[in-house]
Amino acid sequence: MIDDLPLYPSARPCVRSGFCCKQAPCGFGEWNASETACVHLAGDRPGQYACAIADRIKLDPTWVVSPAFGAGCCSPRNLDRSRTDERRSHSDSDSA
């Protein structure tokens, strides 16, 4: 299996908001029946989403940079991401 990519310079780490996999499926994915997300998007809320077939994709020799597992987020201004960031900072301060 290929390891995750390094974080792209100036990219922000993925916070599992799920936003990108709701915009359009990557080359390994496909829409769900209502075309609201990729069928392989696991989890039920921002901060907990994950690609259910990531391990399978990383074993595929055609996987190189897309989806860019590990390379960070190219949608840093999306609202799902902002809400996830906010929730995380609240829970960090709650536990401090």
| Cβ–Cβ under 8 Å, residues 18 and 47 | no
Give the pair of three-digit tokens for residue 17.
């908001």
x/- track of binding to ligand SF4 for residues 2-21 (CB under 6 A): ------------xxxxxxxx
| Cβ–Cβ under 8 Å, residues 74 and 66 | no
Q: Would you count residue 71 as binding ligand SF4 (CB under 6 A)?
A: no
x/- track of binding to ligand SF4 for residues 21-40 (CB under 6 A): x---xx-xx--------x-x
Q: Which is nearer to ligand SF4, 88 or 95 (CB)?
A: 88
- The whole-angstrom separation of Cα 71 and Cα 56 is 18
| Cβ–Cβ under 8 Å, residues 65 and 71 | yes
- Interacting residues with ligand SF4 (CB under 6 A): 14-21, 25-26, 28-29, 38, 40-41, 51, 53, 67, 73, 75, 78, 81
